[in-house]
Structure 1
């Protein structure tokens, strides 16, 4: 994949939305989020995916909406030369808002602990505190009820300053019924729409 340069990729007057997907079955909703945002005027979306999240959607469905999916393989190509752009730095420079949807228990723990061992967590560790960042937890109910989860959410909210939304209660993909499902994808889209006062393209 070609180098990504924030200075080339940002467009004046546009809202630049960075969607992060992690290893929860709720990642299946990623194409729907991207497709919905693509229907608004002056919006650009880039997707950064952990490898496990790609078990749940086909990146081709993202590309159909005019966006791209970035993975660890794009960051660590084995061909780096001094002076080349650093992907996780360029992506965080590009973003006006970051959505971690879904945020798995594993990625939540990594964020809270400051771990940065992949493209997603490296980007988040380098992210400016001025960039609005929303976390949408999604996991099994007992994983959500684990005492460490409450501590991780506290750290993410109170120390890092991210906004945590959800999870919600419903029948989960594993068959259990309880709290742990990701916020409805339409509500995630609406957070961006309302924050940036987006208008549908047909309202131009």
Structure 2
């Protein structure tokens, strides 16, 4: 099947990463995981499928000093992968993606990503964080970077998914869901279910096979 690169960030929803990786492996995909350091607070790497390789920031430059010819890990991972899925995508990493900041392995990977290949983004954050104007602004910036146009006048958190699907399909936005959050608040912000993310991967895989 496909070579899938999963990126995960420091949202509580990272507790679902072992389940997501297991589901993708069960679908027949080869999976590698890039984890930010904050994300590792929320899951035990020992719970990952044995076939899933874990990469963290320290793996980018493992030697004391660069030697000519050393591999650049975020470039090697980009070359390897057929698809990138970032789940959960926390508010901080979304802002970095939108602004082009590249201060860890995952943000370097996203900055270097070849958008001839798709990237699935599944945000997760507190309701008030999600509804801040910055969130819509950062998503709009990603859309504009893909299309080369200013965001449409009807841009909103509610319309963003459709705008990506119609005009910037290299980025698949899977919005958060409403439920009781880990912090106790009730509202939108929880990461989409693992089954929803896996379905997005399955649908992409079927389209890729049909087009080949």
Offset at 1:158?
3.2
- TM value normalised by structure 2: 0.83
Q: 2:186 matched to which residue of 1?
A: 177
> Which region of structure 1 is more displaced relative to structure 2, 103-112 or 181-190?
181-190
The answer to whether residue 204 in structure 2 is matched with residue 190 in structure 1 is no
SS of corresponding position for 2:26: coil
Distance 1:164 1:197 in 2: 18
Distance 1:158 1:166 in 2: 18
Please tell me the root mean square deviation across aligned C-alpha atoms, in Å.
1.4
- 1:153/1:164 contact within 8 Å kept: no
- TM value normalised by structure 1: 0.86
- 1:17/1:98 contact within 8 Å kept: yes
- 1:34/1:65 contact within 8 Å kept: no
Q: 1:4 matched to which residue of 2?
A: none
Give unmatched runs, 5+ long, in structure 1: 1-13, 199-204
Give unmatched runs, 5+ long, in structure 2: 147-167, 208-212
Question: Alignment length, in residue pairs?
Answer: 183
SS of corresponding position for 1:34: helix
1:53-132 equivalence runs, <5 A = 53-62=39-48, 64-77=49-62, 78-132=64-118
Q: Deviations over 1:133-166 (max 9, x none)?
A: 0111100000011111110111123324422111
Distance 1:26 1:137 in 2: 10
SS of corresponding position for 1:189: helix
SS of corresponding position for 1:102: strand
Distance 1:35 1:163 in 2: 21
Offset at 1:27?
0.5
> Which region of structure 1 is more displaced relative to structure 2, 156-165 or 171-180?
156-165
Distance 2:81 2:59 in 1: 18
